[in-house]
Structure 1
Amino acid sequence: MAGAKRRRAEESTDAGADNVHPSRRRRVEADEAKAELAPIFNQLREEIPAQRLGALKRLLQNLSNKSGDPSGRLDYAVTRLVKGLCSGAKAARAGFSIALAEALRLGFASTLTLPGFVPHAISLTTPEGNVSGEERRNYLLGRRLAFRAVLQSDILAKTSQSDARHLFDAIAQLATEKDWLREECGAMLHEFLSSQQATQVQDEVIRSLIDSWGSKGFLKSPEGVALWLTVKNAFAGVKLPKATWHHNNPLSTQERATLTNILLKNAVESGDRFNDAAKKKSGARQIVPSFAWQVILAYLYKEDTGRQFHSFWEDCVAKPMFSVSSSTERRSLGLQVFATTIATAPVSVLGDVVHKSIMQCIIDHRAKPDRYLHEAAKLPLSQMATRAKHDPAAASIMICKLFTIMPGNLDKFTKATIENMLSASDVDGLADIVATAISLCRVPGSNDPGEAHQKRQMIGNFMLGMVRSRRSEPNQFFDVNNKTVLVDWLQALIRGFAHLAYTITSEKYSPPLSQKSQEVFRERLTSTLGHLVDLSLNQAILAPTLVLETLHESKKILASVLDEKRTAALREARKALKEAAKRSQIAGSGDATVNTAFQLLLALGMLQVYNEEEDDAIGVLKDIVSCYETPAGNEDASTMLVELLLSFVAKSSKLFQTLARQVFTAFASEVTPEGLQSMTEILSQKENLAGQQELFSQNGDENADGDSEEEEEEETDDDEEDAVDVEDESDIEILNGNVVKIGSEEDEEELSSSEEGEESSEADEDEEAAFDRKLADALGTTGMDEDVDEDGSDMDDEQMMALEGHLTNIFKERKKDANKKQDNKDAKDNIVNFKNRVLDLLFVYVKIQYANPIAMDLVHPLATLTRTTTNPPTAKKALEVLEQYFDTCKKHKSLPQLDSEKPCAELLNAIFSEMKLGGSKLHAAACSRSALFLAKVLIGKTETYRRVVDLKYLGLRDEWRKDPKSKIHGSLFNDWHNWSMQR
């Protein structure tokens, strides 16, 4: 039957299989195993780690399977993996290396042995015939990775010393092939000694590692030193070879010269017992430091008491790598070692790491972009900043050392690095930094007066930067438990600045402080106070008071002896200052604020007297005292106070401008109509020389000097190229401590500026033409034909002598005209800057006193200013003050309460008259918003004014339509229409 036939066929097939020769069966099974492993090997090459990990799992499952021929599969897999290590394709080395380590772990547990595997691996990684250098390199790398897999397989924990010696000898022999292989093999052995597997290895095995490495002459190589120190540190039971190092310590002072040569790759131990490969020196340059540096440094960090590290760093790094005769390559290597040490060294030795020779090399190469190591020198600086950011204690150590060893001239990147480190320093570190800085300002370490001044100036700039960088977090200026007490480091800084700026003690300063240096310290102190008085009044008074206390305590050693007038004025002011301090503590909140503001005024007035800046400093201080002693509510005193604040605003000093804003804020409620008039009169002044003369009652009054004597955001050396123009300064609005950039001008404003420039150009051309006419008249060449021969116009000596006087007068007049033109430009800048600062005060006023009826007196002058000023940012700022006033009233739903409508109605008429005068779109916006605001105030008082306002706008519109030359802006009517629709 069919079923029976099938059964006989199956029986026949089974019988045939049983009759297959065993050797053939093994070949078939081996082929099947290879076919099964092939896709696994392919996936071990993949660059995606997840795929390699999956392939590794499947490989281990296959090799762990006991069915078939597990020994044959393992041998095949090991052979295939070793060969794969010689491939540079994709991620073959990464995948095959891990797989080989795991396969060997299985193999050594069963049939594999070290004496058998090592020669097998060598034969598999030895190329046949003549091969290229790249292919030979791949084979050598494959051999190293095969030996590394053995080290990772845990076999050494179970093997004997003799078996382990086979492996270590093979590794040492491989290291003789190439210099770079010696470093790689040494790093591989160090990795093994530092691993967990090495802790389970017998001491004899570790000793055999050292013996094998020494047999090739490599103990006195960077790798040999690293291995020696690692064994000495981690394997106390291992007896190291004698007579290799003095007291078995490569870091011994007696071995310092040898160690230096070794680390610089100038020497490898040689002798008759070593082969020629060990005697060869590599012709390749060392580009990156050997891993041995990290091992040596780590050993010193752990075992050293401080003195050994200092001598090692001096002998092996600072002197040989950064001496005058050091090569560029050696310095490059040293910079990398320095950067590594900065990142890893404990705080206790950082002072030794930041060495003068190293920093001088960095400064020299950062000075010019064309230096070979210009970019390389950037690495250690960046590392210093990074270390400081994560370790504030390290920041103070490095900064103190940098201050001590650095010259006064630094490049911008180095300065920025130090500033970043200063920003990262903690409270304790800042105290040390300030103490070091002040000490170095007294004794800079140079006897040359010029160099001493330069270094003092540099340190002064950094001290100011310590304060400036913390403005955004003012809590850092005060004690943690008491926000009305300055933190210790800031007190020390202010006192130090005060002593350096105002006192003179020859025995404490070497070389003696020059007048120029003292002026620098006064400027830095003033800038520091400028940052600190921008805080709340209770906190702002602390720093100026501390300065005055310091100066009063040091009155016997002041650099400038005070005369009787100044002494008397200071005495009266100090008395008033103490009284104001007492009143501020016992008075109510309003009176306390006023008294604190007077303290600030008195303190800064007294500093002016100490500075001897102006002839009227005593008069100003007396006026402040008089204002303080005048009973509250006195209008004359209030007006006088406003005049004083305006005089402070006119100064170029940021400190006095901030002071004026602070005090004005406190006294805003006391400002009278006369006081506001004093401010608006400034806004109406002409922006030229005549306006300046009228405003300051004299030519070139120093209070109106618009040239900034100091730049708030960056205090740099005198030779710094960056400077801020007064026009740029006028584009900056400082409100409540925030710097706000003025926006771009409107199109019409740009057109106006363009027209003004054209007019100026035409005026210049007219001046040139007039000069040419005068010169031609003097020479008698008017109307001469250009073709006339030059010889025909020659003059004799008598004629030339007679002409000399005329020419002299002509050029004198031209120079006088040029000076006058420059004076007019300077005067314009001064007036514009002054107006901008007054606008800052008015911004503060309308924000606080928006409900005060006298605030409406500002509307017309501000609207007019948007038209009359020649500076677009000033017009923009005037509009912003108006908008602040109107928006604040709207926000608080509070309009000025009028006793009579007449003044407001007259003001509205004045605004409508202003509308007819034309101007920019910005001027139209100012007039429009002002008119609508005043209309709202009048309508709120009397509803009948609604019709009056509408009639005014209708009349204005008719005039605009009928007169083609009308200067009225069409946007006024759009605003009126929108406002009417919202009623």
Structure 2
Amino acid sequence: MSNGKRPFEDDEAQDDNVHPSRKRRLENGDSKAEYAKLFSPHFNGLGDPILEKRLEATRGLLKALSSKTDDQRERLTYVNTRLIKGVCSGAKASRLGFSLALTEVLRLAGTSTTKLPVINVIDHINALTTPESKDDKKREYLLGRVYSYQAVLQSGLLSHASENDLEKAFGAIAELACEKDWLRNECGVILHEFLKGNEAKADQIKPLIESWCSKGIVKSPEGVALWLAAKKQFPDVKLPKGHWHHSNPLHAQERTTLTNVLLKNAVVVGEEATPSNNNNNAKGKKKKNASGTRQATPSFAWSVILAHLYEKDEGKDLKPFWEDCVAKTMFSASSSAERKSLGLQIYSKAISSAPAELLGDIVHANIIRCIVDQRAKPDRYLFEAAKVPLNQMTARAKDDPWAAAEMVTKMLEVIPPHLDKQTRLTIDNLVSSADEDNLIQVVKVLNELILAPGVSDPGEADKKRRLLADALLTTVRSRRSDPNQLFNKDDTPAQWLKLLLHSLTDLGFVDVGEKASPAIAESSQNVFRERLQSALGHLVSLPLMQAVRGPLVVVGRLHSFRKSLVIELDEKSKTAIKDARKCIKEEEEKTDKQNSQVVSLAFQLLLALGTLQVYLQQPDSILVLEDITACCQSPEDSEDSSTMLVELLIKFVSQQSALFRKLAEQVFTAFAPEVTAEGLESMIDILSQKESLAGQQELFGEEEQDASAGGDAEDDDEEMGSGDVQDIEDASDIELGSDVELVNGNEGDSEEESSGSGSETAPAGDDELTEFERKLTEALGTEGMASDDDGSDMDDDEMAAVDEKLTHIFKEQKLGSNKKQQNKDAKENVVNLKNRILDLLLVFVKSQYANPIALDLLHPLVTLTRTTGSQPTARKVLDVLELFFDTAKKNKETPEVDDKEDLFRVLSAIHEDARLGGSKLHARACSRSSLFLAKILVHMDEGESYKRIFTMYGDLSWEWRTDPKSKLSSDLFSEWNNWYMQK
């Protein structure tokens, strides 16, 4: 017996005995390793987040597959397998890259000699996208299957497929759509893209639709979209019967079914349409399979349906569809927040896509009411969601003025009177975006809505009318920066503007009778009058030729309806209006003369505004109009008209009435370019007056002062009630005291005057009180007051004597108090007038910064910062100067003068004023004014002027360094040094 081992067979014999299946596996392993080495670099690039790199990897993969080899089919199978698995990746970039590559590889396979059967590709996809377990990334695998099916559709493989293969391919997609609601949407998207693309053929349409019919999902949002797309792209193809009335899902008889389908994301199955239930007993029965999940976003089917409705019969079916399927169902009072959220998204989609002429059907009362309600409070569930459609409306309006007009007219028709800030802003934006061609219709609609606001309650009607009046005002206000939208080329008002002014005038002043329902309340009439004045206020800020047009239109309208006004004018008012109208006609005849055109226009503006104030029955309005008329009719030469007008405006601002001041400021804004040196001197004279009783008498005259003293209380009350004419500078006066600081340890003259008067007031008051007590003691008798007697023993004569003494003492004390009050009131009156003049000068320097006469203001204004006893007034003076300098610098334009010696004299005067010392405001005024003049002089003659200026500053600097009593501020030199070092 042999104990040796069994002999080992050689390798060749061993290979001959290997089982064929194992041998094939070994060979496949070798080939897969070879394929992996060949294609892996391209697969890695398909998952890159950068698009260009994914495209480059796709091109490389196609190039590698393009070479003809004996194993071409095996290579395609291997690559398809890897690509399908890659599409199932959870990474978004990988899914996009692998699906793109799969599409192109399948397209290549369809054109090669080794064509891949469609059904084999579908089976391959199904096998590779089936998860191993229920929880094994099932969503990624299902999405991978969707993207793989999409690759098949886009690759063109179906173009040569048999009818049987088409049925199986579309059936597989329909079967996938039945698994989940979100999968139905994804499958619907890829099929809809297929129908719209170039790959779809007529013979493929019927199998596609029948696959959805056979699965019972044709009456779903996606099924409706596919049906409509198929009819549009292939109108000659006969679609299956028995599913939609007249084969039209949007037919009126299908509205209920369609609403259920879209609203609840449901699948409505008609049992008579299914092959298994084709019997008479089942006919007419329907079952509805509602979605079990909430729709967070609208299905793509909404876009398809809306687009179809826009195009069909010019959108005549859109309104009933929108009413039934959106406005009433999604925005009813009982609708859930989730349903309203979905509706708001659909509304935003429609706003962005609907033709402008159909937007009136989209903007529905229920939807707007929902938006307003949700925006009412920040804690509302859809507070932020309701902002999205408002922003969408604004965006659409900016790109499409016609759409803006359509939306705003409908929105104002249905909107409730109570609005939040965002909704009001949206309305303003819509009004601002409408173009001139559509504004006429907008104004007409707004006027009709004001007359019939659509509410029966008078209180609600008043609120709605106020909202509509605000919209009319916004129409003017939003265009004041572009006068071309307000006026024609010949400066006549645009047609829409004339209609708007007529509308506000009629609503505020004319008895419209039964045209208004409910009747326009007096409070609403006041609102329209206020909005009319505001609109005119925006118009008068324009160039004079345009500024005068609006008031003339209004006055002309009032004259036309003078017999049907809701106000009653007395004879004095009628006479004043008649005289003013006569003057307006005379001034209109003068406008053809160039030398007096501007002055004539200014008088027309004053007369028109003054006439309007009489119609408004404002206090002192008749006096205002009479003064304007008298000035207009003055026989002065035309050369003096400008100065005369300035003096008239000064007279207006000197009055206590806010009406006078407002008229003066409005007219001066337009008249500023025509102010002469004499007119400016009239204003400077007022600024140089003392702030005392003597200064008041110099300005107003003794008689006027007595009159104004008696009326101060009433006029002050009037000013307090007129919030729209209160000056901003006055409101902030109390905060400006900190700006006035000591310079070099010395107080400025203004502070010395203030502190001096203040320090004298207290001792003087104590002395007066002591003297009053002494006289009172003498009258009553000290001994008597100190004794035990209570004064009951005093006889009648003694009592009469004491009473006479007491009367005399109290009379003297009252006279002293009145004198003090008069001095205080006088100072306030002068300071207030100076502030009004400074307001006019702010207007002047803003537009006339390059006018040589503006230089006449420098020295008087610098002096005023030192001499005024009012810190806010000093601050306002500096504001005028800085606005002058900054505006000239911004526009790179300064006044041009012929004689530089005049400028040197002004510069020397300012330097002398700087030597007197003062507050920090005064030092700042001296420094900036001096440097401004220096720049102008250097620009005129850099050589000699620069040398003289340098010498002048050098003298000041030497004085500041050597004289211990010098009141000069170091700021004067620092700004100069900074400028000339940079020059």
- TM-score category of the 2 structures, normalised to the smaller one: 0.7 to 0.9
Give the Cα separation in 1 of the matches to 2:121 and 2:638: 105
Which residue number corresponds to residue 565 of structure 1? 572
CA distance, structure 2, for counterparts of residue 271 and residue 226 of structure 1 = 18
- 2:865–2:921 contact (8 Å) kept in structure 1: no
Give the whole-Å Cα distance in 2 for the aligned partners of 1:515 and 1:166. Answer: 77
Q: Which residue of 1 aligns with 2:238?
A: 239
**How far did 1:412 drift?**
0.9
Partner of 2:217: 218
How far off is 1:921 after superposition? 4.7
Question: Which of 421, 424, 431 is the matching residue for 2:433?
Answer: 424
1:404 equivalent to 2:413? Answer: yes
2:524 to 512, 517, 521: 517
Q: 1:170 to 1:581 in 2, by over 3 A?
A: same
Structure 1 distance, partners of 2:265, 2:872, is 73
Pair 915,846 (structure 1): closer, same or farther in 2 beyond 3 Å: farther
> 2:166: which partner in 1?
164
The number of residue pairs the alignment matches comes to 864
For the residues of structure 1 that align with 2:506 and 2:37, how far apart are their CA atoms?
88
Number of the residue aligned with 2:712: 699
Q: Deviations over 1:649-696 (max 9, x none)?
A: 4737766522133235424355285564245549889999xx999695
> Residues of 2 paired with 1:419 and 1:956: CA distance?
58
How many Å separate the matches in 2 of 1:191 and 1:216? 21
Distance in 2 between residues matched to 1:619 and 1:926, nearest whole Å: 42
Q: Is the 8 A contact 2:862 2:922 kept in 1?
A: no
1:824-843 map, 5 Å = 834-840=836-842, 843=845
Provide the rounded CA distance (Å) in 1 between the counterparts of 2:403 and 2:862: 60
Larger CA deviation: 619-628 vs 402-411: 619-628
1:207 paired to 2:206: yes
Name the counterpart of 1:263: 262
1:148-173 alpha-carbon deviations (Å, 9 max, x no partner): 11111112222222110111111111
Contact 2:852 2:896 (8 Å CA) reproduced: no
Distance in 2 of aligned mates of 1:979 and 1:243: 90
For residues 522-569 of structure 1, the C-alpha deviation after alignment (integer angstroms, 9 at most, x for no partner) is 221112112212222222221111111111111111121222111111
Which residue of the partner structure matches residue 186 of structure 1?
Answer: 188
Alpha-carbon distance, 1:323 to partner: 0.4
Match of 1:3 in 2: none
Q: Secondary structure at the match of 1:197?
A: coil
What is the deviation of 1:394?
Answer: 0.9
Shift of 1:636: 10
User: What is the CA distance between 1:930 and its match in structure 2?
Assistant: 6.8
One of 567, 576, 579 as aligned partner of 2:586: 579
CA separation of 1:300 and 1:885: change in aligned 2, threshold 3 A = closer
Superposition pairs of residues 710-725 of structure 1, within 5 angstroms: none
Answer yes or no: is the 8 Å Cα contact 1:866–1:879 preserved in 2. no
Q: Please, which of 600, 603, 606 is the counterpart of residue 598 of structure 1? A: 603
Q: Name the SS of the counterpart of 1:372 in structure 2.
A: coil
Contact kept in structure 1, 2:576 and 2:626, CA below 8 Å: yes
In 2: Cα distance, 1:598 partner to 1:604 partner? 10
1:124 pairs with 2:128:
yes
Does residue 55 (structure 1) correspond to residue 57 (structure 2)? The answer is: yes
CA shift at 1:295, angstroms? 1.0
| Equivalent residues of 2:831, 2:873 under 8 A apart | no
Shift of 1:263: 0.5
Distance 2:828 2:170 in 1: 84
Q: Is the 8 A contact 1:916 1:967 kept in 2?
A: yes
C-alpha contact 2:391 2:426 (8 A) present in aligned 1: yes
Is 1:322 the equivalent of 2:324? no
Give 1:466's aligned residue. Answer: 475
Q: What amino acid maps onto 1:645 in structure 2?
A: L
Q: Secondary structure at the match of 2:591?
A: helix
My pick for the range that moved more, 356-365 or 99-108, is 99-108
1:619 pairs, out of 623, 647, 654, with: 623
Distance in 2, matches of 1:841 and 1:682, equals 24
After superposing the two structures, state which structure 1 stretch, 537-546 or 954-963, moved more.
954-963
Structure 1: unaligned runs, 5 residues or longer: 1-15, 713-723, 732-741, 771-818
Q: Distance in 2 between matches of 1:45 and 1:92?
A: 4
Distance in structure 1 (CA, Å) of the matches to 2:884 and 2:153 = 81
Moved more, 241-250 or 657-666: 657-666
**Whole-angstrom distance in 2 between the partners of 1:824 and 1:211:** 97
1:60 counterpart letter in structure 2: L
Structure 1 pair 854–839 and aligned structure 2 pair: CA distance change class (3 A): closer
Q: Which amino acid aligns with 1:46?
A: D
| Structure 2: distance between partners of 1:146 and 1:910 | 87
Deviations 1:395-453 (A, max 9, x none): 11111101111122211111111211222111111111111112222222222222222
- 2:115 alignment partner AA: T
In the TM superposition, residue 283 of structure 1 has moved relative to its aligned partner by: 2.7
Aligned residue for 1:395?
A: 404
* Aligned counterpart, 1:785: none
CA contact (8 A) 2:47 2:94 kept: yes
**Structure-1-length-normalised TM-score:** 0.77
Counterpart position of 2:670: 662
User: Matched residue of 1:152: which SS?
Assistant: helix
Distance 1:123 1:230, change over 3 A: same
Equivalents in 2 of 1:151, 1:190: separation in Å?
11
Contact 1:388 1:425 in 2 (8 A): yes
Amino acid at match of 1:41: F
Contact 2:540 2:666 in 1 (8 A): yes
Give 1:640 shift: 6.1
Calculate percent identity across the aligned residue pairs.
Answer: 41
- 1:173 corresponds to which residue? 175
Larger displacement relative to structure 2 (950-959 or 396-405) = 950-959
Give me the whole-angstrom Cα distance separating, in 2, the residues matched to 1:139 and 1:226: 26
| Structure 1: distance between partners of 2:198 and 2:83 | 25
Contact 1:29 1:68 in 2 (8 A): no
Match of 2:89 in 1: 87
SS at match of 1:269: strand
User: What does the per-residue CA deviation read over 1:119-141, in whole Å, with 9 as the maximum and x for residues that have no partner?
Assistant: 2221111122x3425x1111111
Per the alignment, residue 671 of structure 1 pairs with 679
SS at match of 1:581: helix
Distance 2:480 2:609 in 1: 21
Cα root mean square deviation, aligned: 4.9
Q: 2:246 & 2:953 partners in 1: Cα distance?
A: 106
Taking structure 2 as the reference length, the TM-score comes to: 0.77
Q: Would you say the 8 A contact 1:537–1:597 is kept in 2?
A: yes
Change (3 A) 1:237 1:614: same
1:291 shift after superposition: 0.8
In structure 2, the residue matched to 1:351 is: 360
Letter in 1 for 2:261: I
Shift of 1:700: 3.8
Q: Please name the residue that 1:249 is paired with.
A: 248
8 Å Cα contact 1:56/1:99 also seen in 2 = yes
Letter in 2 for 1:543: G
Alpha carbons 1:213, 1:219 under 8 Å: kept: yes
Cα pair 1:704 1:830 within 8 Å, conserved: no
Which aligned pairs between 1:732-771 and structure 2 lie closer than 5 A? 745=739
1:545 aligns with 2:549: no
Secondary structure of 1:259's counterpart equals helix
User: Structure 2 counterpart of 1:359, which letter?
Assistant: I
**Residues 494-533 of structure 1: pairs in structure 2 closer than 5 A:** 494-533=501-540
Q: Given residue 657 of structure 1, which amino acid in structure 2 is its aligned partner? A: E
**Which runs of no fewer than 5 residues in structure 2 stay unpaired?**
1-14, 278-286, 767-820
Provide closer, same or farther for how the CA distance between residues 237 and 528 of structure 1 changes in structure 2, counting only shifts above 3 A. Answer: same
